[in-house]
Amino acid sequence: MTHTVAAETRTGRPVTFGILRRLPEHLAIWVPLLLSAGHLVSFALWTVWISFTPSTLVPVSGWVGLRNYTAVMATRNWQIAFDNLLLFGCGFVLLSLLTGLLLAVLLDQRIRGENVLRSIFLYPIALSFVVTGTVWSWLLNPGLGIQKLVNDIGWTSFRFDWLIDRDMAIWTIVIAAVWQSSGFAMALFLAGLRSVDADLIKAAQIDGAGPIRMYRRVILPTLWPITVTVVVIQLQFAITTFDLVRALTGGGPGLATQLPALVVYDLMFQRGLLARGAAAAVLMLLILLAVLLPYAGWRYLQRRQAAHA
Amino acid sequence: MSALSIRDVHKRFGPSEVLKGVSLEMGSGDFTVLVGPSGCGKSTLLNIIAGLERQSSGSVEIGGRTVDDIAPKDRDIAMVFQSYALYPSMTVRQNITFGMECRNVPRAQREAAVSEVVRLLQIEALLDRKPAQLSGGQRQRVAMGRALVRNPLLFLFDEPLSNLDAQLRAEMRMEIKQLHQRLGSTIVYVTHDQIEAMTLATRIAVMREGVVQQFADPETVYNRPANLFVARFMGAPPMNTLPARLEASPSGSVAVIGHGEGEIRLPVPVEVKGWIGREVVLGIRPECITEPTRHFGHAPDAVLTIAASVEMTEPTGAETIVVLRLGSERALGRVSADLRPRVNEMARFAIDTRKINLFDPATGDRIVS
Ligand SMILES: Nc1ncnc2c1ncn2[C@@H]1O[C@H](COP(=O)(O)OP(=O)(O)OP(=O)(O)O)[C@@H](O)[C@H]1O
Ligand SMILES: [Mg+2]
């Protein structure tokens, strides 16, 4: 293809002819891309606009300034959701990072059956969060899942009822989310471990580093760019978590597992407060930007350093 | 006692045999350079010596001790890698002391060792930097420092200079040579660079497809290559290798290149009775074909002057490479930089017949008297 295009340009025919010939390809690439980008951007802008209007059940025009924002932020619902997000975000990111790293280091020992194990650990990613949430809601249900199993075996005083415990319920979300996504962290870390310069490991072997020192001083320090990437991806997942909580706890018991996305849904579609819901959504977007913008800046610096080195 | 002895080492990676019975013997203070085409097993051999790779059979002795079952850290070796392999998260100081840290050497002793090495290599100012903040030459020095600080029985270098630019490479080459002379260390050094091999080595091992072709001092490898492969591999431009016949003459054997009118007869320096009347391959280095006014180490009777037609000249600055016809064969000669023999005309050349080599065309092996 490129060959013929080049030949045509050389013989003096206009380049546009080549573009025309490739029209189907261009259509196939650009139309869906523009449509989805347009969708995303226009709905985001629309949401921002709505958040400054007095809309309730239906969108109306008008300007109320930041009233919707102050109103949303003043609700207990939002405040709890925000606190929960902090707890859930930190717990989830740290635990999935550690689990992923541990799995990756264990898999890195060139054990037999690595491929099978890797697939098993990666498998949860292929599941919908709704499925994960539902399955874990059964597993964690005291009358149905793990607690019942252990009780039936004979340890009758065993209690594992975090799902209905107001203080612990948020950790059930952490558990399910870690279960679902630490395979992803593992995959990235494993790729990182495998791309460590083989000479580096040889040098450390000659220097006499044992396995623990080898990981701690030589191999793991090379992984921190990957760690940052994993943290950012997991964080933005945490911020936008919705379906998992819907399926697992529905935000309860009470407001114990309320998260911002649930607040948005609740305001917009259940209470018919469109503008407030939009304001909450925009707040979520801001939280997301607070994570993504520093990351983009960091990537930029990294690339510039690499270009200079 | 030899510093390193490798006995009949084989290495297989699955079905492919990468080392096919390598045996080398090195004395203390030897600087052995391993050369050979890419993929011939040089790095594999170095890794086996270091213990980073296990040989399929054969044994390795370092300082008189069989090390086959000894871990790399206990073999009393140090290695410098092509990529330098500096620990990116550690400072230069930590890079240099990491080995001592692993061996639990007391801090005061570490500091003393570091300051000595750092002075030797003149990298005092770099001690607190990270590798990413160093230039290629500085990284190379740090990698050397990490090896030197260990003061091992044996140094292993795997193409340590090949990531440097030409000028820096020449500088570092000199420094390595000086270090070797000063410290008297025993070194195995892998390189692709002919000049490094010739200038640094006390012994050169030429490898090809996992077999050592020749293991001798640089002078022997260069002037009396063991076979056609070594003859063509060492030297740039490579040795001319031309088909010739051997004939007897009153003054000794002569090699005849070409037939009839343009044939060229070169007296050969070796007694080759069994080969009279047979085809051989004649090897002669380009620098042994030069302008007639040149004196080859004041051995006038070894010099033969011939006329040959010039096909092409390539001035390189330091000298002029001449493509000429010997008999009907094409050969390269090297003349002084300011000489430009005319193309497509006859010119006279002196040939240093002392350095003619003869090879068996069937096996490629050097014919010895
Ligand atoms: N771990 C391995 N598994 C399989 N084959 C290998 C392995 N390591 C090396 N080889 C093969 O062994 C051969 C020799 O490799 P080696 O690295 O020793 O070559 P080399 O002489 O150092 O080459 P170069 O000059 O390019 O560094 C190559 O053909 C290579 O593909
Ligand atoms: Mg190599």
**Share above pLDDT 70 across residues of chain A, in percent, rounded to a whole number:** 94
Q: Tell me the pLDDT of chain B averaged across its residues.
A: 91
B52 touches chain A (CB under 8 A): yes
Position B336 scores a pLDDT of 92
**B212 closest CA partner among B356, B7, B4:** B7
The pairing of strands B319-326 and B303-315 is: antiparallel
**B2 within 8 A of B188, measured Cβ to Cβ:** no
Tokens of B132: 């990413």
Lowest mean pLDDT among A191-200, B26-35, B190-199, B301-310: B301-310
Q: Which domains does chain B have, with CATH numbers?
A: 4-233 (3.40.50.300), 240-359 (2.40.50.140)
Pairing, β B264-267 against β B279-284: unpaired
Residue-averaged pLDDT of chain A: 85
Instruction: Specify the CATH number of the domain A76-308.
Output: 1.10.3720.10
pLDDT category at B346 given cuts 50, 70, 90 is very high
| Residue with more model confidence, A4 or A188 | A188
A90 CA to centre of ligand 1 in angstroms: 46
Spatial separation of the C-alpha atoms in residues A272 and B318, rounded to whole Å? 88
Task: Give the whole-angstrom CA distance, residue A245 versus residue A106.
Answer: 31
Residues making up chain A, counted from first to last: 309
Q: Is the CB of B39 under 6 A from ligand 1?
A: yes
Using a 6 Å cutoff on CB, does residue B38 contact ligand 1? yes
**Centroid of ligand 2 to alpha carbon of B37 (angstroms):** 10
What pLDDT, on a 0 to 100 scale, did the predictor assign at position B113? 92
Measure Cα distances from A81 to A169, A253, A264 in Å: 13, 13, 10
Q: Burial level of B216, CB count in 10 A (0-12/13-18/19+)?
A: middle
Residue B216 identity = A
Q: Are A264 and A277 in contact (CB under 8 A)?
A: yes
Average pLDDT over residues B345-359: 92
Contacts of A214 in chain B (CB under 8 A): none
Per cent of chain B over pLDDT 70 is: 99
Q: Which atom of ligand 1 is nearest to the CA of B159?
A: 27
Q: How confident is the model over B115-150, as pLDDT tens digits?
A: 999 998 888 899 999 999 999 899 999 999 999 999
Confidence of residue A16 (pLDDT cuts 50, 70, 90): low
Closest Cα in chain A to B143 = A203
Give the model's pLDDT for residue A132: 86
Q: What pLDDT is stored for residue A6 in this prediction? A: 43
Summarised one tens digit per residue, pLDDT across range B278-301 is: 999 999 999 999 998 887 776 667
Whether the per-residue pLDDT at B180 is higher than 90: the answer is yes
Atom in ligand 1 nearest the alpha carbon of residue B45: 18
Q: Is the CB of B42 inside a 6 Å radius of any atom of ligand 1?
A: yes
What secondary structure does DSSP assign to B270-313, as a single string?
Answer: S--GGGTTSEEEEEE-GGGEE-TT--STT-GGGEEEEEEEEEEE
Q: Report yes or no: B284 and B239 within 8 Å, Cβ to Cβ.
A: yes
Among A22-31, A60-69, A116-125, A183-192, the range of highest mean pLDDT: A183-192
In 3D space, the residue among A99, A101, A67, A66 whose CA is nearest the CA of residue A176 turns out to be: A99
Please report the pLDDT score of residue A160 as a whole number: 83
Q: How far apart are CA A252 and CA A266, in angstroms?
A: 13
Q: What is the DSSP letter of B367?
A: P
Position A5 scores a pLDDT of 41
Q: Is B40 in the pocket of ligand 1 (CB under 6 A)?
A: yes
Task: Write down the residue that tokens 């990537």 correspond to.
Answer: A299
B106 touches chain A (CB under 8 A): no
Q: How large is the average pLDDT for residues A159-182? A: 86
pLDDT exceeds cutoff 50 at A4: no
CA distance B298 to B255: 23
pLDDT of residue B298: 67
Which of B340, B35, B355, B82 is CA-nearest to residue B194? Answer: B35
pLDDT at A270 over 90: no
More confident residue, A20 or B289: B289
**The pLDDT value given to residue B130:** 92
Chain centre distance of CA A93: 9
CA proximity to A205, closest of B325, B92, B102, B139: B102
- The answer to whether B54 faces chain A, any CB pair under 8 Å, is no
Distance of residue B27 Cα from the nearest chain A Cα, in angstroms: 22
Which chain A residues have any C-beta within 8 angstroms of a chain B C-beta?
197, 199-200, 202-210, 213, 217-218, 221-222, 305, 309
Looking at residue B92, its amino acid is V
Q: What is the mean pLDDT of residues B78-85?
A: 93
Atom of ligand 1 nearest to the CA of B46: 18
Phi-psi region of B185 (alpha: psi -120 to 50; beta: other; left: phi over 0): beta
- What's the pLDDT at A99? 94
The complex scores an ipTM of: 0.84
pLDDT digits over A32-43, tens only? 899 999 998 999
- Which pLDDT band, with edges at 50, 70 and 90, does A67 fall under? confident
Positive or negative, the Cα torsion across B105, B111, B117, B123? positive
How high is the pLDDT of residue A15? 60
Pocket test for ligand 1, best of B9, B12, B17, B18 (most atoms within 8 A of CB): B18
| Intra-chain end-to-end CA distance of chain B, in Å | 33
Q: How confident is the model at residue B40 (pLDDT cuts 50, 70, 90)?
A: very high
Which residues of chain B lie closer than 8 angstroms to A302, CB-CB? Answer: none
Pair B7, B197: CB distance under 8 Å:
no
In tens, the pLDDT along B208-257 reads 999 999 999 999 999 999 999 999 999 889 999 999 999 988 888 899 99
Q: Is any atom of ligand 1 closer than 6 Å to the C-beta of B13?
A: yes
User: Measured in angstroms, how far is the CA atom of residue A164 from the centroid of ligand 1?
Assistant: 60
Instruction: Give the whole-angstrom CA distance, residue A301 versus residue B269.
Output: 68
A with B: how many residue pairs have Cβ under 8 Å apart? Answer: 64
- Structure tokens given for B333: 């000669």
